[in-house]
């Protein structure tokens, strides 16, 4: 599987590609990189995002997951840059329970690009985050997008 690691403001990130689509983004470095045009495009778009020059991503994505997880991830991808939704709001929109929605968010294999960091708990509580520094990473991403964090 082609893969590419690079540095970012939230630590080292590794992108993975399969069948012409991004299938995962993880934290950490890889022993070897296998650059492809798509991985380079994804890296460039992430760098533009972190440089404040991009507010959305234009990449083919194919995260592996259940039908329910796919539904949740598709909804996450529609939350605009700089905006948030609560677990409750999103759960109501999808006709599911907030806890189930939170579980799908936590299993998002392409964080940042599929913006699970834009989902908050009741009354703006941070909830959780799968990033390398957890809530600190989530807060960084939200501040980067101009979201006021108490």
Q: Is the pLDDT of residue 24 over 80?
A: yes
**Tens digit of pLDDT for each residue in 76-86?**
999 999 999 99
Position 132 confidence tier, pLDDT thresholds 50, 70, 90: confident
89 exposure class (CB count in 10 Å sphere: 0-12, 13-18, 19+): middle
77 & 43 share domain: no
The least confident of 31-35, 84-88, 122-126, 140-144 is 122-126
Residue 91 lies in a domain: yes
Residue 62 lies in a domain: no
- Asked about 105 being catalytic, the answer comes back as no
- CA separation, residue 43 to residues 32, 37, 48, 94, 98 (Å): 16, 10, 9, 31, 32
Catalytic residue (one of 75, 104, 116, 141): 116
Residue 73 · residue 66 · CB < 8 Å: no
List the domain range (segments joined by +) for residue 41: 3-51
For the chain, the average pLDDT equals 93
**Tens digit of pLDDT for each residue in 31-65?**
888 999 999 999 999 999 999 999 999 999 999 99
75 & 111 share domain: yes
């Amino acid at each position: 599987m082609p893969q590419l690691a690079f540095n970012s403001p939230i630590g080292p990130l590794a992108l993975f590609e399969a069948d012409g689509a991004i299938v995962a983004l993880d934290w950490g470095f890889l022993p070897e990189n296998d650059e492809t045009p798509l991985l380079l495009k994804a890296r460039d778009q992430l760098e533009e995002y972190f440089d404040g020059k991009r507010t959305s991503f234009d990449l083919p994505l194919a995260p592996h997951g259940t039908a329910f997880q796919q539904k949740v991830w598709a909804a996450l991808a529609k939350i605009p840059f700089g905006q948030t939704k609560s677990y409750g709001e999103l759960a109501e929109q999808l006709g599911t329970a907030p806890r189930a929605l939170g579980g799908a968010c936590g299993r998002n294999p392409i964080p940042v690009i599929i913006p699970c960091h834009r989902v908050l708990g009741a009354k703006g509580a941070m909830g959780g985050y799968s990033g390398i520094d957890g809530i600190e990473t989530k807060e960084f991403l939200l501040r980067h997008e101009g979201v006021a964090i108490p």
